[in-house]
Structure 1
Amino acid sequence: MGTNSSRKTAADDVVVADKFSITDLIHKEDWLSIWGAFLIIAVASVGVITGSYVFKGGKFGKWGSADTGSILQFFNGSATSIKTWSGILLTLAALAVIFAVSNHLMGKNIKKYLIAFIGIFALTTLVRLISSQVIFSKYLEYAFWALIIGLFISNVFTVPKWLKPAIQTEFYIKTGLVLMGASVLFSNIQKFGLYGLGIAWLVTPIVIIFMWMFGTKGLKIKNKSMVMTISAATSVCGTSAAIATAAACKAKKTDLTFAVGISLIFTVIMMVCMPLFCKLVAMDPMVGGAWIGGTVDSTGAVVLAGNAMGELAGQVAALVKMIQNILIGFIAFAVAVFFTTRVDKTAGQTVGASEIWHRFPKFILGFLGASLFFSFVFQNTIGVDATATILNNLKEFQTWCFALAFTCIGLETNFKEMAEQFQGGKPFVLYIVGQTFNLVLTFLVAWLLLSGRLFPIPNITI
């Protein structure tokens, strides 16, 4: 992932990055994604702390059943309908201002961007509406529908030129990840102690290393960014980990599309089959819950699958997944350094610290900063309940950023380009083998820690 702004000295063969400029802080996308996300966090936090207003991202409620009503409930002019659309319009306004101002600071046409952003947001609103259907919301996340709609437009029709200024996948991903960092709380470790760390933090790096070696050495996949993205999606938490890792290793959009797509498909399969298997073999609920939490990719799917085994299994599954999610920022950081110093380094080249900093995706610092601040400052000053309220208000802003990103990925992706990435089905084999290894290793660790054979069973209150 070479940069045009770096140079190599003949004397010592060291790659030296151009000096950091203070203006980078207000003109570079990575930094602007941090400031935009921090602004949203600040506004939401002040509202909760002072109790003077509510700054909360909008969303559609469930629809499509006798209990929830039909899709018409969002268009009937009722109080619920007005509240839903006012929240979505607030989200549109907030994100439009942040991204438009950022584009202006990056030297782009703000008027063209705003017009295009409204169009992209409208498509994403359709995505969020479809994914709120009762059945779809259980099995297929918004990312699936965003990709489907975007791919349909880009492959069946032609993406309008006026939409293209707002197709900024990486910018939306980076901003969403910084927002996500706030919800990654270290206090979750305390709830399950060393048991959760053993299951979530011991297995994950082993699976990543195994899949990396198998993909690059065994299958000899040339696209190393795809290998790393699939590895992170498989071992950590699917979509979120794939997004962070893809950004850290500069993966192509088609790489991310494949990794997320296969992750979503197998998440549905595992979510349904794993609880049934656990019940069939009469597996201990705590072991089964930990197994599910460490292997099923989506947090929402983990909760559903865990609760299908019972309340105890559901709680253990959620705790393991939350502890595992904490690794996202650290893994992205490690991947960025690894690719800079090893994978993308040319033969005989020495990469200095300044070049690592130059290439390093700065948004990861925002992710880690938000996580540390909410974990060790907010929870200890304003309290756990107020912190939880802020995070609840921020969650939909994060989801909208990711949904915008996946809509853009679909609009930018061509099926022919995707077919070129498959290399005879090797990425699919990588996922299947890697997920199988993940399932076996996670079960062994969960059984060793929670079966009571070697260690005392932890006391989890329900």
Structure 2
Amino acid sequence: MSHTSVAGNAGNGAAAVRERRRPFGTEDWWAVAVGLFAIVVAYALFASGGSIKTLAVAPARWSDFGALAHDFAAHAGNYLALFAAFAVVFSIAIAALGLPVVRFILGFAVVFVVSALIFALGAWSQASRYNLEPPLIALALGLIVSNVFAVPAWLAPALRVEFYIKVGIVLLGATLPLTLIVWAGPVAIGQATIVSLATFFVIYGVARALKIDQRFAAVLGVGGAVCGVSAAIAIAGAVRARREQASVAITLVVVWAIVMVFALPALSRALGLPTGVAGAWIGTSEFADAAGIAAAQAYGDFARHTAGAVAGAPDASLQAFVLMKVVGRDIWIGIWAFVLAIVATTRWDREEGAEVEAKTSAKEIWTRFPKFVIGFVIASALVTWVASHYTLAEYRSVVTPAFVAPIVALRTWAFTFCFLSIGLTTRFGALSSTGLKPLAAFTAGVVVNVAIGYALSVHVFAPYWLTLGQ
């Protein structure tokens, strides 16, 4: 799935196992619960004539600091209410996962305040001129702080990258009608299948040619072919790779994901790609959900703030990314885990003279399946049902401002928390431990991934992505 810290990755697999065993659910399911709770509350208020617009606060466009200060002062109560709402709901999930709630709230207060300042910078009237899009600002700021200064340990409990991004994706479902998923989903799955297979076999083949262990090669291959960190952890467990091998794969995923979060929007802009096409390319070629969403949202913001610079609806970039990455590629985690677990237990273990302790079952797919995708589909279905009661004109004039737009604002906050956390938990120094052979194998997959993704998005399936959001 998405991104996690490079530092301390060796313990991620064990941590994931411990979290799955918690009596009060997993991070995936709590992200689904939090996202759907927000949507249900928003709809209940909308149906009764109200709205959660008072919570959906963000700085207005400004050109001088006096205007910015006045805007913050005028909406101080809204910001405090939004912080309290996030803190309470998130803390319930944090407590259920057995994590330190007080430490989380203290750290989250800092994350929230910095995120608000990032929003303010993005609302500057000259922001688009200098490419100061909030997702990229959050990521860049976090990277600078974490690699130049020491991030205090008390802040760590609030840097919940995976949790924030999963909540954001569930909320994102409320902005993508189910009809859009049904229409473009098969295209996304088809494109994702081509990319997943091609990238995996290139990385695996190059790794084996470089004499890299077959289990390690499989972890590298799926890490590049599907969705990065979660895929690497899942496959390492499925094929029984060593913990340090999963750590190296995660490091490579993180580094390339960060490179792509800046490179893909810049290349798309230089090529003048329409928003839907660019979003599909980003969804095909990024290695982490969080980084990809930052890239897609930044490109959409560029289209929104510079009218006419690129074709397509601004939201189409993020919609295409989600269809490609969440609907198309992420479902391959369970498939690859299931297939490679069978290969490892029936072939590799026997070749190495190991005993086969247990049979692989179809339940492996469900175990590895990213559960937040279910929340995303439920949210999409709910909004589709709501939209069915209105004409298109009524939906745009009534439903969107009072129901959908506030959810979009909450989604943007969740994504910003995530992007900032990514930067604050990434240490480039860890790359030195990866070695040249794994780097060479993974980079070969990057080249193939980007090239095939471009060809499929810009040429083969362009008719679908061009009309997305229209």
Q: Deviations over 1:285-333 (max 9, x none)?
A: xxx7775464355155258569989699425x96587356334443355
- Corresponding residue for 1:123? 114
The residue identity in structure 1 corresponding to 2:373 is I
Q: 1:366 aligns with which of 375, 396, 405?
A: 375
Q: Identify which range, 81-90 or 297-306, moves more after superposition.
A: 297-306
Note the C-alpha offset of 1:364.
2.5
1:31 Cα deviation after fit: 2.0
Residue 136 of structure 1 deviates from its aligned partner by 4.7
* TM alignment of 1:73-112, pairs within 5 A: 73-75=67-69, 77=70, 80-112=71-103
- The alpha carbon displacement at 1:153 in A equals 2.8
Q: Which residue of 2 aligns with 1:414?
A: 427
Q: Secondary structure at the match of 1:314?
A: coil
- Which one of the candidate residues 387, 394, 398 is aligned to 1:379? 387
Per-residue Cα deviation, 1:165-199 (whole angstroms, up to 9, x for no partner): 22222222222222122222233368xx6xx6786
Q: Distance in 1 between matches of 2:39 and 2:469?
A: 32
Given that 2:29 and 2:372 are in contact with CA atoms closer than 8 Å, whether structure 1 keeps it comes out as yes
Long gaps (5+) in structure 2: 1-11, 237-245, 284-295, 347-357
Pick the aligned partner of 2:36 from 30, 38, 50: 38
Which structure is richer in relative contact order (CA contacts within 8 A, separation 6 or more)?
Answer: 2
Tell me, in whole angstroms, the C-alpha distance in 2 between the residues paired with 1:116 and 1:319. 34
Matched-pair contact (CA < 8 Å) for 1:212–1:228 = yes
Change (3 A) 1:44 1:228: farther
How far apart in 1 are the matches of 2:175 and 2:319?
Answer: 9
8 A contact 1:248–1:332 mirrored in 2: no
TM-superposed CA distance for 1:337, in Å, is: 1.0
User: Are 2:325 and 1:325 equivalent residues in the alignment?
Assistant: no
- In 2, Cα distance between equivalents of 1:429 and 1:459: 32
Q: Which residue of 2 aligns with 1:61?
A: 60
Work out the CA distance in 1 between the residues paired with 2:282 and 2:157: 36
Per the normalisation by structure 1, the TM-score is 0.71
Correspondent of 1:218 among 189, 194, 206: 206
Contact 1:149/1:410, CA 8 A, preserved across alignment: yes
How far is 1:394 from its partner? 0.9
* Equivalent-residue separation in structure 2 for 1:119 and 1:108 (angstroms): 18
Q: 1:116 to 1:350 in 2, by over 3 A?
A: same
Shift of 1:335: 2.2
Contact kept? 1:74, 1:84, Cα under 8 Å = no
* Residue of structure 2 in register with 1:207 after alignment: 195
CA 1:155–1:382 in 2, change beyond 3 Å: closer, same or farther?
A: same
Change (3 A) 1:167 1:303: closer
Percent identical among aligned pairs is 21
Distance in 1, matches of 2:120 and 2:101, equals 28
> d(CA) in 1 for partners of 2:147 and 2:112?
20
CA 1:419–1:44 in structure 2 vs 1: closer, same or farther (change >3 Å)? farther
Shift of 1:98: 0.8
Shift of 1:388: 2.9
- Counterpart of 1:149 in structure 2 is 141
Q: Does 1:260 align with 2:257?
A: yes
Q: CA deviation at 1:122?
A: 2.4
Matched to 1:74, the amino acid is: L
2:281 aligns with 295
Q: Give the total of aligned pairs.
A: 406
Match of 2:404 among 391, 398, 408: 391
Distance 1:296 1:148, change over 3 A: closer
1:252-307 Cα deviation digits (max 9, x unpaired)? 764554343222222332232212xx8xxxxxxxxx77754643551552585699
> Structure 2: which amino acid aligns with 1:445?
V
Change (3 A) 1:426 1:130: farther
Alpha-carbon spacing, 1:341–1:424, altered in 2? closer, same or farther (3 Å): closer
CA distance in 1, matches of 2:390, 2:330: 29
Take 1:444 and 1:347, find their aligned partners in 2: how far apart are those partners?
40
Cα RMSD (Å) of the superposition? Answer: 4.2
